[in-house]
Amino acid sequence: MKKVIITYGLIGGVIVSAIMLGSHPLLDKGIINYDNGMIIGYGSMVIALSMVFFGVKSYRDQHSGGAISFWQGVKIGMLITLLASVMYALTWEVYYNTAASDFTEKYTRYHVDKMVSEGASQAEIDETRAEMESFNELYDESLLIRFGVTLMEILPVGVVITFLSAALLRKREVLPA
């Protein structure tokens, strides 16, 4: 089981980290904006965490005689998700501290400019700016907050994919070996 978890977790972590590292500089160049970046980011998480499905299937077919219980599938899927998620958060931490230390300032500016262009009131803009700047202070100063926030971006995606994969793959007739 360890080999399956490590193999598919590392593959998923490499995929999501590579897409993040490849797409994030496009924000600075103006090729994509933060809204598109969010779509790319969550899309990359779905693609990378598809490794959960393949990992659970691999375990079912090669180590479990073609059958797996729902909870065994959940266990394997969550461990794959956790490994890929930690790799993603570590990659972000390195990137943030080397190339994107002004990320929160740029994101706040983008969000406030978007509010202005959409006609938000000055009171709404000021309130949003104050909330974002307050959060940014915590985010910028605390590794634990930043790491936790980054994990909370990807973990829910992995949980959903894990439960779907475990539910589908507990049935022998779904993609038999």
pLDDT value for 177: 63
CB contact at 8 A, 159 and 78 = yes
pLDDT, tens digit, 9 for 90 and up, residues 114-167: 999 999 899 999 999 999 999 999 999 999 999 999 999 999 999 999 999 999
pLDDT of residue 51: 97
Domain regions of the chain by residue span: 2-169
How many Å apart are CA 167 and CA 74, to the nearest integer? 9
What tokens were used for 128?
């949003």
Continuous H helices in 29-69:
34-63
What are the φ and ψ backbone dihedral angles of 70, each rounded to 5 degrees? Answer: -55, -50
What CA dihedral angle connects 25, 31, 35 and 36, to 10 degrees?
-90
Contact indicator for 72, 18 with CB cutoff of 8 Å: no
For residues 170 and 71, the answer to whether their CB atoms sit within 8 Å is: no
SS3 154: helix
- Calculate mean pLDDT across residues 79-94: 97
Residues 24-68 pLDDT 10s:
888 888 898 888 888 999 999 999 999 999 999 999 999 988 889
Give me the residue label for tokens 């930690």.
86
Question: Residue 100's pLDDT is what?
Answer: 83
The angle subtended at Cα 109 by Cα 106 and Cα 112, nearest 5°, is 150
